[in-house]
Amino acid sequence: MGEARRKKMICAGIDAGSRAIKAALFESESGDVIGSGVADQGVKQDDLAEKLFGKVLREANVKRRQVSRIVATGYGRNAIKIADTTITEISCQARGVLYGMPDVRTVIDIGGQDSKLMRLNENGAVRDFAMNDRCAAGTGRFLEVVALRLDVPLTDVGRIVKRATNPASISSTCVVFAETEIVGLLASGAKRENILAGVQAAIASRIATMAGRKVESPVVFTGGVALIPGMAKALETALDCKVFIARNPQLTCALGAAILASER
């Protein structure tokens, strides 16, 4: 008798982040991502995750009973009742990035409430990491606060930053004090684009400080903030190296969770 045909296994990853919930479906035999989706975060995380998961299944034409295992990760992972188990976002983020760039050595993840820098060894395992989760100055929240103060939709930040000619110097390392500093810049006639460019540079500088020493390339940028034009360039300037934006940077952690689910 010939070798029995392997049964296809589909696994799911759900990343309950501080600003959004992400889901991904991974088919282990082919190694393909067969479905994914993103939804805004809210109070009832479990309900939102269930709704998003159902939507991703329908769009992928996959039945719930076909999913062998679900892994939850991220800020609200313990609230996701449909998950079989949880895995930290550090492990999931690294695995998700490795899927698209096997030779990655440094991962920078900037989300709504925290930022992380992970160093990987030649085998793709996390060697060490640093996290900023006690101050919003190095996170997407800083951009949100400034965009609100400047009356600029967050989706327009990248377009406006492109017009910057003289990025403002933002010296404060606390969002509260930085907001006061920005009020002063506005009063002095500073342009919105220069203030926003200065904020991006300030966030990148915070990441460089968190790195503590020269980062090892290749460097991959993930998280919702990676979708904002100008941020990768600001990181390149602060770190003095090339920074690659992950494909679908919001989804890498959910993808990593799904891949780990299939491996475990």
- The model's pLDDT over 90-111, given as tens digits with 9 standing for 90+, comes to 999 999 999 999 999 999 999 8
138 vs 118, more confident: 118
pLDDT of 173 > 90? The answer is no
pLDDT at 5: 40
What's the N-to-C CA distance of the chain in angstroms? 29
Average pLDDT, stretch 173-188?
Answer: 78
Residue ranges per structural domain of the chain: 10-101+250-263, 106-245
Contact 90, 252 (CB under 8 A): no
CATH second-level architecture of 10-101+250-263? Answer: 2-Layer Sandwich (3.30)
- The model's pLDDT over 33-79, given as tens digits with 9 standing for 90+, comes to 999 999 998 888 899 999 999 999 999 999 999 999 999 999 899 99
CATH of 106-245, one of 3.90.650.10, 3.30.70.920, 3.30.420.40, 1.20.1530.20: 3.30.420.40
- The model's pLDDT over 239-251, given as tens digits with 9 standing for 90+, comes to 999 999 999 999 9
pLDDT of 11 > 90? The answer is yes
Task: Judge if 10-101+250-263 and 106-245 fold alike in CATH terms.
Answer: yes
Tell me the average pLDDT of the chain: 90
Pairing assessment for the beta strands 67-73 and 32-40 based on DSSP bridges: unpaired
Can you tell me the distance from the alpha carbon of 35 to that of 82, in angstroms, rounded to the nearest whole number? Answer: 17
Contact 8, 29 (CB under 8 A): yes
pLDDT at 142: 83
Q: Among 116-120, 163-167, 173-177, which is the least confidently predicted range? A: 173-177
**Percent of the chain at pLDDT above 70?**
93
The whole model's pTM is what? Answer: 0.89
